[in-house]
Amino acid sequence: MHHELILILDFGSQYTQLIARRVREQGVYCEIVPFHYALEKILEKNPKGVILSGGPNSVYEADAPQVAEDFYAQINAPVLGICYGMQLLAKDLRGAVSPSEKREYGRAKLKILIGETVMFEGLPRSLDVWMSHGDHVTRLPAGFRTTATTGDVITAIENAERRIFGLQFHPEVAHTPLGKEILRNFLFEICRCRGDWTARQFIAEEVEKIRCLVGETDNVVCGLSGGVDSTVAAVLVHEAIGIRQTCVFVNNGLLRSDEYEDTLKLYKEKLHLNVRGVDASHEFYAVLKGIADPELKRKAIGRKFIEVFDAEAKKIGGVKYLVQGTLYPDVIESVSLRGSSVTIKSHHNVGGLPEKMNLKLIEPLRELFKDEVRLIGKDLNIPDEITQRHPFPGPGLAVRILGDITEEKVKLLQKVDRLYIEELRRFKLYTKVWQAFAVLLPIQSVGVMGDFRTYEKTVALRAVTSTDGMTADWARLPHDFLQAISSRITSEIRGVNRVVYDISSKPPSTIEWE
């Protein structure tokens, strides 16, 4: 079935994915493609509307990203330029753009000049918006009018007849509180979308697709991690082909306390998946012995995982496909305007697996964002304890134990982490943060207990807020909570006499410590 489609041309803004999520939240499917995506391919997709995103460049720079030469002449759908997108279309259509004297960044008051413009229908005459730009439009292209200003800056323009619109501010960010209404006007009034993108429909279509792809006889294998992505992917495939999918859940000995047993039980008893548990903890501890370097740890775990998983899959027989919970942010062809990015951490838990096993991939979530996966999971009756679970890294506690790994250290960290998560839930803070965990530091410090001097370990607690894990801020957890968890840890866990709270954001830190 064909969905209505909004196409976003990405000019490298940090907010591009946010635009996509805001569009989908309104029930309209959208895709992000790089700004240089061929015009014929854009036309082939027959979008109901096209959004030109923001970007870091200035439109008059020599190598500023552009749309195809006859984009405006050929496109047969409304166009909305946001920030850089607006400047670009103003310049392309023979208006003028000039550098601002000062960079406008932050909140601004938008004054709507023309009441009857569809873009601002139903909105007050004055509203808060979020700006972030250095240039602005100083002369309108022929046929355009200014529909809103901030101070004396032209902030919204349109040519309603040609269905071309520009917004200098960002309607997609939370700091533009009525941005959702503005995007809704664009989608439903201007592009005439109906909103045919729902979780239920996605599930029905995806199940049908998987059924057709796999056919009547082939078998499928899926690696479960206990996290939301792999679980939702497995349940979707299970809906399609039932027990011809075998799931493998490996205990690498680096999971949270009791997580292996509890999750395996949930997979079997609540979700009725055809799942095999493989407890390979000691094999992982063996290959990790004496390794302190974070990248070497990650690589050793990745290699071992492939070995264990491959051995298990060989026992199944007739397997042609591997299910993976790849998400949309992993597949968007990223626009690299600032040079190629360096590897900060090697993230891929199962990188190289499909090639090694010579399997074809099934990636039922590759069009979805994380919050959409959670909604789909809810619709599939997957319990909240999975759909609301914090992200957990493939290498598990190994990247939260600084220095070399031993079973004793893992057990100690599991105990601390368990108390921390328990208390977060008790204080109803668990779902308020993106992720929370404890880190075991390779240092000891002096303390006093009763009349005795102690010399024991330090743990760091981390909790962050984030929308996608790419950037994050440390969570402002209440002092009462921090007090409660600190005393529980030091009084209930032998071997820890100091608790610190991590107040670093990402960047410059990362979420995990290794």
Nearer Cβ to ligand XMP, position 75 or 301?
301
Task: Please identify which residue in the block is written with the tokens 């240089």.
Answer: 36
Task: Please identify which residue in the block is written with the tokens 């992982």.
Answer: 284
107-111: long-range contacts, CB 8 A cutoff, minimum separation 24: 107/131, 107/175, 108/150, 108/151, 108/155, 108/169, 109/150, 110/148, 110/149, 110/150, 110/155, 110/156, 110/169, 111/148, 111/149, 111/150
When asked if residue 26 is in the footprint of ligand XMP (CB under 6 A), the reply is no
Site string for ligand XMP, 413-442 (x = CB under 6 A): ----------------------x-------
CB of 471 to ligand XMP, least distance (A): 9
Can you tell me which of 349, 387, 490, 497 binds ligand XMP, judged by CB under 6 A?
349
121-127: long-range contacts, CB 8 A cutoff, minimum separation 24: 121/185, 121/189, 122/181, 122/185, 123/178, 123/181, 123/182, 124/178, 127/176, 127/177, 127/178
Tell me if residue 83 is catalytic.
Answer: yes
When asked if residue 406 is in the footprint of ligand XMP (CB under 6 A), the reply is no
What is the C-alpha separation between 257 and 251, in angstroms, rounded?
11
Beta bridge partners of 133: 104
When asked if residue 393 is in the footprint of ligand XMP (CB under 6 A), the reply is yes
When asked if residue 325 is in the footprint of ligand XMP (CB under 6 A), the reply is no
Q: What angle do CA 481, 486, 489 make, to 5 degrees?
A: 125
When asked if residue 347 is in the footprint of ligand XMP (CB under 6 A), the reply is yes
What is the C-alpha separation between 19 and 495, in angstroms, rounded?
48
CB of 495 to ligand XMP, least distance (A): 25
Beta bridge partners of 457: 444, 496
Please identify which of the residues 4, 30, 83, 193 carries the catalytic annotation: 83
When asked if residue 166 is in the footprint of ligand XMP (CB under 6 A), the reply is no
When asked if residue 94 is in the footprint of ligand XMP (CB under 6 A), the reply is no
Closest to 369 (Cα-Cα) out of 223, 467, 509: 467
- Exposed/middle/buried for residue 329 (C-beta within 10 Å: 0-12, 13-18, 19+): middle
What is the C-alpha separation between 84 and 59, in angstroms, rounded?
7
Q: Which residues of 30-60 are buried (b: 16+ CB within 10 A; e: fewer)?
A: bbbbebebebeebeeeebbbbbbbbbebebe
The interface region with ligand XMP, picked from 236-244, 366-374, 401-409, 506-514 by CB under 6 A, is 506-514
Can you tell me which of 139, 163, 378, 506 binds ligand XMP, judged by CB under 6 A?
506
Nearer Cβ to ligand XMP, position 201 or 504?
504
CB of 271 to ligand XMP, least distance (A): 21
Can you tell me which of 289, 345, 425, 494 binds ligand XMP, judged by CB under 6 A?
345
The interface region with ligand XMP, picked from 189-197, 249-257, 276-284, 392-400 by CB under 6 A, is 392-400
When asked if residue 329 is in the footprint of ligand XMP (CB under 6 A), the reply is no
The interface region with ligand XMP, picked from 16-24, 182-190, 243-251, 345-353 by CB under 6 A, is 345-353
CB of 335 to ligand XMP, least distance (A): 21
Residues 459-498, interacting with ligand XMP (CB under 6 A) = 469
Nearer Cβ to ligand XMP, position 47 or 227?
227
The interface region with ligand XMP, picked from 34-42, 195-203, 234-242, 343-351 by CB under 6 A, is 343-351
CB 191 within 8 A of CB 336: no
Question: Tokens in use for 243?
Answer: 């027990």
Tell me if residue 247 is catalytic.
Answer: no
Peptide bond before residue 507 is cis, with ω within 30 degrees of 0? yes
Residues annotated as catalytic (active site), given as ranges: 83, 170, 172
Please report, as ranges, the residues that interact with ligand XMP according to CB under 6 A. Answer: 345, 347, 349, 391, 393-395, 435, 469, 506, 510-512
